[in-house]
A = this chain, B = another copy of it.
Amino acid sequence: MTTSPPGNGPGDLGDLGDLSGDELVRVLATLANPHRLRVVAALARERMYVSELARALGISRALLQVHLRKLEAAGLVTARVEVSQDGKAMKFYEVNRFAIELTPEAVEAAERTLTPPGDGPGGETKGSK
């Protein structure tokens, strides 16, 4: 559904069908934050480099970086380092196209691919501790 051509980047998100339940949870959790929502909105209008974005949003670089990382980890944005004419290395970010449809049916489908409860980190059946 998403118009992305065959050569999909590693961070590109296709339709909801492409996302496992766990990935969906991560994407939703990532988007469920005012700061990150603003970042996505700002980048949807035009790509920007970190400091520039921080100023535009009125937040510290440190804070912005944390959010940008989560957005990147969720595959919602992509970073690209470019060296400006005056030699400064700027890190530009841009949004990845994504289209997720959220409906009870979609949720039900995603749930089927969720990692079973208590099946997380260490695993418990064996003596991890």
Residues of chain A at the chain B interface (Cβ within 8 Å): 21-22, 24-26, 28-29, 31-34, 37-38, 40-41, 43-45, 57-59, 95, 97-105, 107-108, 110-112, 114-115, 117
- 14 residue pairs bridging A and B, Cβ less than 8 Å apart: A21-B34, A28-B32, A40-B111, A44-B105, A44-B108, A57-B117, A58-B117, A59-B117, A95-B104, A97-B104, A98-B102, A98-B104, A99-B101, A99-B102
The residue from B37, B43, B99, B107 contacting A21, defined by CB atoms under 8 A apart? B37
Q: Are B40 and A104 in contact (CB under 8 A)?
A: yes
Interface of A is mostly: helix
Measured between beta carbons, the chain B residues less than 8 angstroms from A34 are 21-22, 25, 114-115, 117
